[in-house]
Amino acid sequence: MLSSYGTNNIIVMLTVGVILVGIGVYFFNNKFIAIPTLVLGGILILFTLWFFRDPERRIPEEAKKDHSLVVSPADGTVVEIVEEVEKYYHKEKTKRISIFLSPLNVHVNRCPVSGKVEYYEYVPGDYIIANHPKASELNEHSRIGVKTEYGKVFFKQIVGVVARRLVCEIKEGDSINVGERFGMMKFGSRMDVVVDLNTEIYVKKGDKVVAGQTIIAKLNNRGI
């Protein structure tokens, strides 16, 4: 199925695609007009249907039962795992897992944990390439902090050089469940997941992860 987060984009892109195909059909006897417009229209229609797809995901049963487990909030590739001071929510040294999404990945985002949202902030910004080290702070992004029964989890939707919009349905005070859809980053993007320093990380740089399915970490701060 197609994502409801991209309805406006889908309508515009499909409309343009159909118009191009229509022009190609109308000028079918003129190959210099027909071939380019048919090809461009077909590519745009297929790309729209592919990019805005929103497949169902089977959330791991162990993640539903064990709230110490963190699942990937995005499809993509792990590009960085580092220790650093997170200054907005944890306000101490943490571990950060960064996931890069190419335009070919599913861009619908899912909650990495179950818990209560204690912090949310939307930050407008620039549009440098999403896998750039400074993209996390300079690009348009959202910051989300969740308190779980096993510690804090902070995650960020970060748009890239092509993307011009992110969608986030989460707000402060919400209770969220692991694997639930919560938004979308349109076109090439990045997702950062920040966890407590003593968290056990299950992935490594270069791993491919799937939103709502891949378990990426285990929290170890029960009762904090």
Structure tokens at 86: 């997170």
C-alpha 109/C-alpha 3 separation (Å) is 11
Token digits of residue 91: 């306000």
Active site residue: 3, 98, 142, 189, which one? Answer: 189
What's the half-sphere exposure (Cβ side, CA atoms, 13 Å) at 81? Answer: 16
Strands 151-159 and 141-148: antiparallel
Please give the Cα distance from 195 to 155 (Å, whole number).
9
**At CA 172, angle to CA 169 and CA 177, rounded to 5?**
60
The candidate with the shortest Cα–Cα distance to 153, out of 190, 104, 201, is: 201
* DSSP label at residue 113: S
For the question of residue 4 being annotated catalytic, the response is no
C-alpha distances in angstroms, 119 versus 5, 145, 153, 177?
22, 5, 10, 16
Active site residues: 189
